[in-house]
Amino acid sequence: MSIPIPREDRAAAGVLTMFFAVVFFTCIDTSAKWLVLAGLPVMQVVFIRYFGHFVYAMILYLPQERGEVFLSRAPLKQLLRSTFLFGGTICNFFALQSLPITVTTTIMFAGPIVVTLLAIPVLGEQVGIRRIAAVCVGFVGVLIVIQPWGTEFHPAMFFSLGALVISSLYFIMTRMLAGVETNATQQVWSSGLASIVLAPVAASVWVWPETGMQWLVMCLIGGFGISGHILATVAHRWADASILAPMIYSQIFLAAIAGVLVFATWPTIWTLAGGLIIIASGLYIWNRERHKPKG
């Protein structure tokens, strides 16, 4: 069995790597929304995303790892991590069916709150009261976006909230397995398990693509998936989950660009206002970590 690369203290590199992971995560959401709007069922799109991920993972890792790529040192944790990943994806894709990509993205910005708080009892990470206060301020921004008290609230936002909690658990499990499992095993398990579970559901609602562009996006979404999650796995090996979590804030700019260019939808004033509050809290957290004494 291949020996996993141990954890390293490389916070700056971890943060930069996580940013590029977020770029690919935005590409996944954009591709998924585009395919659903093109007429493909949500569960089919979820299956395509993971089956493509699995195919790319096998091409990348099987020649080197051979059968060892399927062997896990912590199968129960891998099972939980994989379940959290595709469970969060299902919720997110259903949300994208009805909500603008900027809204679903901004709701997910509450992830640092969940990750930071869970990292204390689950991972034993040291999180100061100021960092907790900062992510809670960020949550105020999320409330401004969701507006549960106003007419702009949409029931699909519950799917986004579900994706938020489940995805946070995925990142916690990713950090827990860092230095324990190889990247190859994590990629094959997460995509393979989802493909097996979702295949019967996708087959029951399958709609064949009608254009070359639909086929192209179907092929690309799996590549976006494996690229983003490889980078996220590496980032969590280099830095604490609670440090990396605020990097998801950068996605508001990426989602806004995708919304305008691909779907011709502009973010609302509430989305922008809430996003600015969230980003401000994230920058405060980053500044605190950058100046924190080492050792």
- What's the whole-model pTM score? 0.78
DSSP secondary structure letters along 266-284 = PPPHHHHHHHHHHHHHHHH
DSSP secondary structure letters along 156-170 = THHHHHHHHHHHHHH
- The counts of H helices and E strands in the chain are 12, 0
What is the 3-state composition of the chain as percent helix, strand, coil, each rounded to the nearest 5? 80, 0, 20
pLDDT of residue 138: 78
pLDDT category of residue 286 using cuts at 50, 70 and 90: low
Burial class from Cβ neighbours inside 10 Å (0-12, 13-18, 19+) for residue 107 reads buried
Q: Mean pLDDT score of the chain, rounded to an integer?
A: 84
Say if CB 245 and CB 116 are below 8 A apart. yes
pLDDT of residue 23: 93
Residues forming beta bridges with residue 181, ordered by sequence position? 178
The mean pLDDT value for 51-65 works out to: 90
pLDDT of residue 261: 92
d(CA 92, CA 16): 24
What digits encode the pLDDT tens for the residues 94-138? 999 999 898 888 788 777 677 777 777 776 777 677 777 877 787
Can you give the length of the chain in residues? 295
